[in-house]
Amino acid sequence: MDKVEDKRNKVFGGKYFDRWWIMVLAVVGLILLLIFTQPDPYKRIFLFVREGIWTTVYITCVSFVLVLFFGLFVALGRLSKVTFIRGLSTVYVEVIRGIPMLVQLIFWYFAFPSVMQQLGHVFNIQSMIDYRANAVSMAILGLTVGYSAYMSEVYRAGIQSISKGQMEAARSLGMTYFQAMRYVILPQAIRVILPPVGNEFITLLKDSSLVSVVAVADMTRRGREFMAANFIPIQTWVMVALLYLVLTLLAARAVTWLERKLKMEKSS
């Protein structure tokens, strides 16, 4: 299927061109058309929510970088031969995956500060007693903790897809377990897991809209505020939906570019 799609995308003198960029341009063109042909309300909506665009992108990118790191850490824990570490990592994954992301975000913003304050009273630590939650920080923390559990399973599947002979060969050359993972296993696993990792990023981008319930002024919250003040729900959510669509399409194109680049490097 990928080969067929590649052949279809080879245009302009045989050079590769991702035809899905046409959809990106079409959506961007539709947004510009609405803004310039109907500035009231679409231009007002865009100007009102544009700060939320940067907030959404910032939270998504920071959370995803942390998810990549902690997800790998948890995956290695689940593959560990130490029973306690493997069991602890497994419990974490099963518990976190069993709790809705919205509930987790609400816990980190509303319940976690209360826990910190109570511990501050118990241990008589004034900084903990005075602790107040930062909305953006708690949103990033909640998304990181939640998505690291899912990302760890992606990592684990990728690592287990590599032949055990690769690890045995690396160890026979005198490499430690971590050296073999770093230089032999993970570079191969990354090529395998890139598509699902890209899907996780796109899902995280869309689920970042959930942070609007914990006082983060992202696109969704700004859209709700504009709708509440102007009572035009259709136009408001059409514009917000189109902006989210542009971001997800751009993310999908970036993942496709990375996949193709890695294929070219592998074939060379």
- What CATH number corresponds to the domain at position 150? 1.10.3720.10
pLDDT in tens, 48-60: 999 999 999 999 9
Determine the length of the chain.
Answer: 268
The rounded distance, in Å, linking the Cα atoms of 195 and 64 is 15
* Token reading at 265: 């490097």
The rounded distance, in Å, linking the Cα atoms of 207 and 17 is 30
pLDDT in tens, 144-174: 999 999 999 999 999 888 888 888 888 888 8
Q: 111: closest CA among 94, 133, 130, 127?
A: 133
**Phi/psi of residue 14, nearest 5 degrees:** 85, -5
Query: Could you give the number of structural domains in the chain?
Result: 1
Q: DSSP secondary-structure letter at 19? A: T
Which residues span the domain enclosing 42? 2-267
The rounded distance, in Å, linking the Cα atoms of 200 and 155 is 12
pLDDT in tens, 98-112: 999 999 999 999 999
The rounded distance, in Å, linking the Cα atoms of 216 and 220 is 9
The pTM score is: 0.88
